[in-house]
Amino acid sequence: MGRLAFILVGAAFIVGLGMVGRADMNDEIAEAVFYCDMVAGGHWPDYNNTASECHKAYAAADLYLTEGN
């Protein structure tokens, strides 16, 4: 029974890492979209010089942040 418990704990750990990684990626995409929205609205200057690449952030948001809706 010890070997099965070790395998189950290892699998649960890997699943947990995957969930945390997915949440981290979603947060990063949401931050990029917020930055692009604020720059486009004229509220912030483009201090990262990345406003020309906002289409990538919006595409990623469409793909990853609207899943299941």
Instruction: Classify residue 27: in a domain, yes or no.
Output: yes
What is d(CA 58, CA 41) in angstroms, rounded to the nearest whole number?
15
Confirm whether 59 is domain-assigned. yes
Q: pTM score, two decimals?
A: 0.74
7 lies in some domain: no
Within a domain: 38: yes
Summarize pLDDT for 4-53 with one digit per residue, the tens: 999 999 999 999 999 999 899 999 999 999 999 999 999 999 987 888 88
Residue 4 domain-assigned (yes or no) = no
**Number of structural domains in the chain:** 1
For residue 5, tell me if it sits in a domain.
no
Query: Is the residue at 1 inside a domain?
Result: no
Alpha-carbon distance of 63 to 25, in angstroms, equals: 12
Domain residues for the domain of 46 are 22-69
Residue 26 lies in a domain: yes
